[in-house]
Amino acid sequence: MPDVGPRVAIIGGGVAGLAVAWRLENPDDPTAPVPEVTVLEAASEVGGNLRTTVDGEFRVEQGANGFLDSEPATLELARAAGLGDQLIRSSDAARRRFLYVRGKVREIPTSPGAFLASDLFSWPAKLRMLGEILVPRRADLGRAAEAPDTDETVWEFGQRRLGRAFADTMLDPMVRGITGGECRRVSLAAAFPRMVELEHDHGGLFRAMIALGRQRRREGKAREGETGGPSGVLTSFRGGMQTLPRALADGLRGEVRTGGAVERLEPGDEGWWITTGDQRLGPFAAVVDSAPAHAACHYHPDAEVRELLAGIRYNPIVVTAVAFRREDVVHPLDGFGMLTPSTEKRPLLGVLWTSSIWQARAPEGTVLLRCMSGEESWLDLPDEEVVRRTCAELDHLYGLRGQPIRSWVFPWREAIAEYEVGHLARLARLEDALARTPGLVLAGSSYHGIAVNACMKDASRVADRVRDHLHARAAA
Ligand SMILES: Cc1cc2nc3c(=O)[nH]c(=O)nc-3n(C[C@H](O)[C@H](O)[C@H](O)COP(=O)(O)OP(=O)(O)OC[C@H]3O[C@@H](n4cnc5c(N)ncnc54)[C@H](O)[C@@H]3O)c2cc1C
């Protein structure tokens, strides 16, 4: 049993905070001192954006739908939390993805032949996309943090490399589907750093695909997806995504206090003090703040930090899950689901065909659809009205022959952080400002990646930062 070391508070019991807590309690170096960890969660249970509603035989995700199995940190933590046999892979059918373009649901082509035959793009647009291989590499890639004027939006990148039609038809709905945000605002370097790396290392995306394909063949990994290749297979847990934060919390030796929001955070001579409700907790040698920036900006002690956190934009998403008898939906729903570009001006960002993606999420003979809307006005509508509007759109998209047999509405007022152009420069300024209050580290999806995988990967960096601070404190 390792020695109990100094006390560390983790604000926020979402998956990011719990992963950091787990990393602190289970260092790679078994001789490293283990701090006494306390997790402070505002809600009545852990999980944050990972929430699963179980209603009879329906299992409905309120937030995240799954994660790609290409990030070893997520699988490692899941297995360490005892969930190895709970992992489930999405069905093979879910590899087919669709877009709603020019009034019709159309499949996204995944092979060169299907691309040439597809009516998703005009011939000039296809030729422009093929011309990507000739587009020169940008000279100033990778400098967005220190030179914000070199930061580029996802739309600018797409338009520069693959043409405007690609940016409007593919990238716009992808960014809306992932963040609820706007690809003409989102920073490529902050939200999709891998794209910057690929252009930087290989000179372009087609060149990168060719080089990485060769490399995979050399390594004998012929079929991406089956190998957990660069994109990976969409994965979840039998019991739904909330299984992960629950298991991480249950596996901690430290205390997890739910039902109390942190209201105040103060540095003191012996360490950090935290106020939640009528309790003042501390002193803590270090604090990891994994609450979203829109919450953290209210209680940080430093005015510049508060201002920088408050400047991170969040988009609303209303998730409406609707179940129908199978025969009441005309469309075959034979794939993952569908996204809609903003140019179509439809009320839904996209629809996940949940019962086609996962087994055992809906009773036999029924289908479960999870619809996402970015319409802010829907946040305050009664549930029945949200369901009525959603079903009107589903009828338009897929053809309905009957009423839903079940529905659930989950409004997320501040759903997902939008990493606008300048985000990396903002993070650099935050680092400088936080240096004035040592022992306070930010974690979670507001900063270094919005996906579950990004949070799980970043947890090791955050835990190392905390350990370095504890080490320096002990040596002082
Ligand atoms: C609708 C939706 C769909 C998504 N789909 C996917 C997906 O399919 N795949 C994917 O990888 N990611 C998806 N995401 C993103 C993913 O859910 C997040 O990246 C991840 O869950 C963020 O974890 P986190 O711990 O950083 O933040 P959160 O989950 O937000 O957790 C932060 C915690 O801090 C708590 N908190 C807030 N204020 C305080 C306070 N003052 N004191 C104490 N505690 C506080 C909150 O209650 C919360 O529990 C989705 C998100 C949403 C909203």
Q: To 10 degrees, the CA torsion angle through 208, 213, 218, 220?
A: 140
pLDDT digits (tens, 9 = 90+) for 112-164: 899 999 999 999 999 999 999 999 999 999 899 999 899 999 999 999 999 99
| CB hemisphere CA count around 454 (13 angstroms) | 14
Show the tokens assigned to 413: 């007022």
> Which residues have C-beta atoms less than 6 Å from ligand 1?
11-17, 40-43, 48-50, 63-67, 261-262, 290-292, 295, 317, 319, 412, 415-416, 444-445, 450-453, 455
* 406-418 vs 440-442, strand pairing mode: unpaired
How far is the centre of ligand 1, averaged over its atoms, from the C-alpha of 343 (Å)? 29
Domain coordinates in residue numbering, the chain: 4-48+240-312+419-475, 91-120+314-416, 131-230
How far is the centre of ligand 1, averaged over its atoms, from the C-alpha of 289 (Å)? 13
Are 395 and 388 in contact by the 8 Å Cβ rule? The answer is no
Please state the length of the chain.
476
| CB hemisphere CA count around 171 (13 angstroms) | 27
Q: Is the pLDDT higher at 402 or at 223?
A: 402
Percent of the chain with pLDDT over 90: 88
CATH of 4-48+240-312+419-475, one of 3.50.50.60, 3.40.50.300, 3.90.226.10, 3.30.70.980: 3.50.50.60
Residue 229 has pLDDT above 60, yes or no: no
Residue 2 has pLDDT above 60, yes or no: no
Show the tokens assigned to 237: 């847990």
> Could you tell me what percentage of the chain is helix, strand and coil, using 3-state DSSP and rounding each to the nearest 5?
40, 25, 35
pLDDT digits (tens, 9 = 90+) for 89-112: 999 988 899 999 999 999 999 888
> Mutation test of ligand 1: which of 272, 298, 445 has the most ligand atoms closer than 8 Å to its C-beta?
445
Spatial separation of the C-alpha atoms in residues 216 and 193, rounded to whole Å: 21
State the DSSP string of 356-400.
Answer: HHSTTSS-TTEEEEEEEE--GGGGGS-HHHHHHHHHHHHHHHH-B
In this structure, whether the domain defined by 131-230 belongs to CATH 1.10.3110.10 is answered with yes
In this structure, which residue's CA is closest to atom 53 in ligand 1? 415
Q: What's the pTM?
A: 0.94
pLDDT bin (cut points 50, 70, 90) of residue 223 is: very low
CATH of 91-120+314-416, one of 3.90.190.10, 3.90.660.20, 3.40.309.10, 3.40.50.300: 3.90.660.20
In this structure, which residue's CA is closest to atom 6 in ligand 1? 64
Answer positive or negative: Cα dihedral of 81, 85, 89, 91: negative
How far is the centre of ligand 1, averaged over its atoms, from the C-alpha of 14 (Å)? 6
Residue 179's alpha-carbon distances to 316, 363, 417, 475, in angstroms, are 9, 30, 7, 43
How far is the centre of ligand 1, averaged over its atoms, from the C-alpha of 470 (Å)? 27
